[in-house]
Chains A and B, each alone.
Chain A
Amino acid sequence: MAEVEETLKRIQSQKGVQGIIIVNAEGIPIKTTLDNSSTVQYAGLIHQSVMKARSTVRDIDPQNDLTFLRIRSKKNEIMIAPDKDYFLIVIQNPSD
């Protein structure tokens, strides 16, 4: 438990990290370092995206599964690591 907290703190303290959101399987954010409205927006949109991506990977080969998803945009990079019950979203600006 404490280890997870520490890990999240370390991630937060990395260069360029703008925020971390932990979302549960239903798309409800349970922990976040961003403000409420952004969190809700990110959680909802990314949840759909991840479901779609996962579905794609698994449809091609059911024994395969999504390990992580990176969406790189002009301004920043959104990294999503899905798990069975949760997924973790980190928004980083790598060029900082």
Chain B
Amino acid sequence: MPVTHKTLVKSKQGSNAQSQQKPLAAKTAKVVSKKKDEDDGTEIGEGGDEWMHGKTLIKPPDQLDLTEAELKEEFTRILTANNPHAPQNIVRYSFKERSYKPISSVDQLAVHFFLEGNLLHRDSDEARRQKAKQGLPDEKATVVTETEDEKLETPLQAAGGEEAGDVEEGGGEDGAHSVDSKTGKKEQKLTNQFNFSERASQTLNNPLRERGCQTEPPPRASFSATANQWEIYDVYLEEMQKQEKNKEKAKAVPKKEDDKGKKKLTLVETQSDDLTKVAKVAKIIERMVNQNTFDDIAQDFRYFEDASDEFREQEGTLLPLWKFQYDQAKRLSVTALCWNQSYKDLFAVGLGSYDFTKQGRGMLVFYSLKNSTYPEYNYPTTSGILCLDIHPDRPYLVAVGFYDGCVAVYNLKEERPEPVYKSSSKSGKHTDPVWQVRWQKDDMDNHQNFFSVSSDGRVVSWTLVKSELVFTDIIKLSLVGAVSEGPEGVPPPTMACGTSFDFHKQINYLFLVGTEEGKIHKCSKAYSSQFLETYDAHNMAVDAVKWNQFHPKVFISCSSDWTVKIWDHTIRTPVFIFDLNAAVGDVAWSPYSSTVFAAVTADGKVHVFDLGINKYEAICQQPVVAKKKTKLTHIEFNPVYPIIIVGDDRGYVTSLKLSPNLRSKPKEKKGQELPRGPEVEIAKMEKLLSLLREPENSKA
């Protein structure tokens, strides 16, 4: 009969077999025998007979009859805790050995019954949590109950609940106590009650070693800078310049060799003395110092207006300002003066000699009004300079004519002292001194060109082509009237000597040439052999001839025959004649008025005329130089400022300020707008001329 009676049996597996209580059914013997058969090694004999002896024997009818011997036979029953259902031959794959290996120990647990309960061990987490929640109220309760207990004796009749409560509380107390005690102590290790041993071992402690490493600290430098708005701006500018340079380099890549050469040059320059960098600053300082030294002159130049002019009706005065002199130019005389059109304070002085016997070297000197003690540029020349002209558009180009007939062009931007271009005997230089040079507008190929006139009677045009001067004869001056006559037997016409010329301001091809014979020829660039007109101007050489700045028809001429004459080029006789009692060196129109001009004479006087105010006399006659023997040679008006510069034959250049009377403009009528501009000037002149013409016509 199968065993139906099931009991919850939990057996712990161990090496020790456990004795078990066995049911008394007959089957037990069978079971035992089965067990015996299935025994796997653990044997502990147990005398089941002894146990059986404790009870009276009741023989069931189908009991085996055994003999005494058989009965005494001891049967060994081995009880093991092995699970008969557990598989004995579980095999697992071992990756280490790469084969299937049987598992040595197999789980022998057989669960017969399973019931989930709701009891918690009081040391488990959940129990503790619950206790913690109930802990406070419990403790309070226990405290209260304790006090109650103390006060009251245990009330037996306070229902079973109370008792139970007491018991519980007592239990709780105990529990609380036990909990308290437990928390007081360190938590004891949970040890296996059956089989536990503590073992400890100590390893060798390695000796401690300290290792350190020190590196060199990184180099430190303290850096300080300010970050201002302008410093940031500077950095940005540099960046931009670098970028532009890079762009240029990218473009000029094939020019590598040139760049290398230039790089070498720049390297050398930077290694040279540091003082060169101070040059610009030194210049500024020099000017400042000069300004201080000549402070009163500078103030006069700027602000002084002669108040006494109000009392003098029409006359004016010239206030001397700076005096320019250069040591090395002491024995030379000023032969040419020219203001620079772009830089209004810069002027050029050509030094040489008018004396035929005393020919020697010359000099080209540039002064600025800002520094009167030392020239800005100076170029010594082998031959005396007689004339010069600064290019109106390119203020660094200066054309110079020499006493020996050469012409040269200097470039101020370049450092070298020689001219950039120079004519030579091969390239058509004049055979006589060059008296006047004038720049012209660039020709069709954008080459600069200028004209020169000389005593050899030629008016030559020079063109700057690349690196040389190319000359073209424009006109050959000949004695008047000789051209048309050419019959046989007559000696070939001799050349006249040109001493001055001037180009018309508006009409480009029209120009005037003054000759040594005292005649003035009106010529055109187009006609190379014939003059348009000839004027019998003077008895001696014509020293200067100048077109009026405003009026297109009027020009002025002066000569060593003591006279200054004003002409209308349509009329063959002069409109005005002025006698100045001394040889007139130079005459110049003023840039601000068509009726004002100034002349310098050999007796050291400057004469200023204003035809609008006084047609017959100068409104100012003033000796300008200290020694009366010095002759004044040239005069020029400054295009902007009310000053004139006067050169003399000692090499000095004096600057003078024009007083207000000399610069008068027509008085404005109240309420009327004053018309300005060249038209006014032209009208002024025209009015003058018309006044003259009428009486002339009436006379004629």
Contact = CB atoms under 8 A, between A and B. Distances in A.
B602 to A, nearest CB: 33
Given A14-B290, A68-B288, A81-B288, A88 B281 contact: yes
Given A4-B279, A59-B230, A81 B284 contact: yes
B674 interface: no
Given A11-B289, A63-B233, A1 B277 contact: no
A8 interface: yes
A1 B374 contact: no
B289 A17 contact: yes
B228 A90 contact: no
B285 A88 contact: yes
Nearest to B288: A79
Nearest to A51: B226
Given A62-B230, A82-B281, A4 B289 contact: no
A15 to B, nearest CB: 5
A8 B230 contact: no
Best-buried of B226, B229, B278 by chain A (most CB within 10 Å): B278
Given A62-B230, A82-B281, A92-B292, A1 B273 contact: yes
A79 B289 CA distance: 8
Contacts of B276: 1, 4
Contacts, number: 94
Interface string A45-67: 00000000001001100110001
A48 B683 CA distance: 61
B62 to A, nearest CB: 128
Nearest to A79: B288
Interface in A1-28: 1, 3-5, 7-8, 10-11, 14-17, 20, 22, 24
Contacts of B289: 11, 14, 17, 79, 90, 92
A78 to B, nearest CB: 11
A83 B278 contact: yes
A4 B229 contact: no
A8 B233 contact: no
Interface in A76-96: 77, 79, 81-83, 85-88, 90, 92, 94
B668 interface: no
A31 B275 contact: yes
A15 B294 CA distance: 10
B373 interface: yes
Nearest to B294: A15
B228 A58 contact: yes
A86 B295 CA distance: 27
B275 A59 contact: no
A10 B284 contact: no
Interface residues of B, number: 30
A66 to B, nearest CB: 11
A30 interface: yes
Contact of A22 (B232, B234, B278, B374): B278
A68 B293 contact: no
Contacts of A90: 285, 288-289
A58 B230 contact: yes
B284 A68 contact: yes
Nearest to B230: A58
Contacts of B373: 10, 14
Given A55-B230, A88-B282, A88-B285, A83 B277 contact: yes
Interface in B264-310: 272-286, 288-290, 292-293, 295
Contacts of A20: 285
Best-buried of A81, A85, A90 by chain B (most CB within 10 Å): A81
Best-buried of A67, A85, A87, A88 by chain B (most CB within 10 Å): A88
A30 B282 contact: no
Contacts of B229: 58-59, 62
A81 B285 contact: yes
Contacts of B274: 24, 30, 86
A7 B196 CA distance: 110
A76 B232 CA distance: 37
A5 B275 contact: yes
B288 A59 contact: no
A27 to B, nearest CB: 15
B301 to A, nearest CB: 17
B285 A79 contact: yes
A14 B234 CA distance: 37
Contacts of B286: 7, 10-11
Given A1-B275, A22-B278, A92-B292, 18 more contacts: A1-B272, A1-B273, A4-B278, A10-B286, A11-B282, A11-B285, A16-B292, A20-B285, A55-B228, A58-B228, A58-B233, A68-B285, A79-B285, A85-B277, A86-B277, A86-B281, A88-B278, A90-B288
30 contacts: A1-B276, A3-B279, A4-B278, A4-B279, A7-B374, A8-B282, A10-B373, A10-B374, A11-B286, A14-B290, A14-B293, A22-B275, A24-B274, A30-B274, A58-B230, A62-B229, A62-B230, A62-B233, A62-B234, A67-B284, A79-B288, A81-B288, A82-B281, A83-B277, A86-B281, A88-B282, A88-B285, A90-B289, A92-B292, A94-B293
Interface of A: 1, 3-5, 7-8, 10-11, 14-17, 20, 22, 24, 30-31, 55, 58-59, 62-63, 67-68, 70, 77, 79, 81-83, 85-88, 90, 92, 94
Which 5 A-B pairs give the minimum distances between C-beta atoms? Answer: A58-B230, A62-B233, A62-B230, A94-B292, A81-B284
